[in-house]
């Protein structure tokens, strides 16, 4: 069992951010310590929502208490997700530095929750402040062991077009940081690719494209992948498990506006990995 410190959003109703990370990882046998960047009634993609960001006056004392209480030396991994301001980025950076000072082998998964392609009810583009996004690229990205952007986020981080498998590989090469798992890359016909540039090899899985209303699929993929890596799975199998886990949840979620995580937990917690193929790629 691993212990993970997760800094991301939290909602009262639904499954995004830490609500996804904590439920998935704990269901799969790990322990998650959630430090929320925001506390909202539900995802702001809904017409009605309430709550607010949590600032450093709240978050820093909580982080310092974990440090002074002698708890951070237990942390095996750090995950970051929704960090809407530069203040949140620096809190996450401080948390990572504190953990790695005590445990240099702690894994850092950076999920750049910056924006997305257009979908019903949401325009394409960044959904956080551009200064916060730039700060994440400058400060968090270089420190990451694992980066999990979607297609739009990889394009934004690298300022290179990501239109298909080949251009995604080129962009990943420019990213220059750890293992990269990019989701929602356009494939052939009506398919999307999850593409993993691992430590040594590159792998890809393919899924049928679906129109979905629910948010949190990026959080879900990152959580499934992290759980598999922390359990000691090889990277290709971890990719297959993460892809199959997300597909299982989405199949049952359909066009509902929230992920069906609880109802499907028996299926995704014992899912067989999706087919994975090896990609031959050499950087130019």
Q: Report helix angle 165-175 to 151-158, nearest 10.
A: 50
The Cα 39–Cα 8 span in angstroms is 10
Say whether 178 sits in a helix, a strand or coil.
Answer: coil
Q: Where are the alpha helices (DSSP H) in 40-164?
A: 56-68, 86-102, 130-139, 151-158
Q: 129 an active-site residue?
A: no
Q: Which is catalytic among the residues 111, 116, 219, 236? A: 219
DSSP 171: H
Nearest to 44 by CA among 4, 13, 3: 13
- Strand stretches in the chain, DSSP E: 3-11, 31-40, 51-53, 77-80, 107-110, 115-116, 125-126, 146-147, 179-186, 191-197, 202-208, 277-279
- Structure tokens that stand for 60 in this block: 């820093």
Could you list the active site residues? 219
């Amino acid at each position: 069992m691993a212990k993970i410190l997760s800094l991301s959003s939290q909602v009262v109703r639904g499954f995004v951010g830490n609500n996804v990370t904590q439920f998935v990882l704990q269901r799969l046998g790990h322990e998650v310590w959630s430090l929320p960047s925001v506390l909202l009634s539900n995802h702001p993609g809904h017409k009605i929502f309430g709550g607010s960001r949590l600032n450093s006056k709240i978050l820093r004392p909580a982080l310092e208490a974990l440090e002074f209480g002698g708890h951070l030396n237990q942390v095996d991994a750090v995950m970051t997700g929704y960090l809407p301001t530069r203040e949140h980025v620096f809190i996450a950076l401080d948390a990572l530095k504190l953990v790695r000072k005590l445990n240099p082998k702690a894994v850092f998964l950076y999920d750049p929750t910056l924006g997305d392609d257009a979908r019903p009810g949401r325009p394409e583009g960044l959904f956080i402040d551009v200064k916060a996004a730039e700060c994440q690229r400058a400060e968090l990205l270089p420190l990451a062991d694992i980066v999990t952007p979607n297609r739009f986020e990889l394009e934004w981080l690298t300022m290179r077009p990501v239109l298909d498998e080949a251009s995604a590989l080129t962009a990943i090469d420019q990213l220059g940081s750890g293992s990269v798992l990019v989701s929602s890359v356009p494939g052939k016909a009506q398919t999307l690719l999850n593409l993993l540039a691992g430590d040594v090899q590159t792998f890809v899985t393919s899924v049928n494209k679906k129109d979905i209303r629910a948010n949190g699929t990026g959080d879900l993929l990152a959580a499934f992948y992290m759980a598999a890596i922390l359990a000691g799975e090889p990277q290709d199998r971890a990719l297959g498990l993460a892809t199959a886990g997300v597909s299982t949840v989405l199949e049952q979620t359909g066009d509902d506006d929230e992920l069906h995580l609880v109802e499907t937990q028996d299926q995704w917690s014992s899912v067989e990995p999706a087919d994975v193929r090896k990609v031959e790629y050499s950087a130019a």
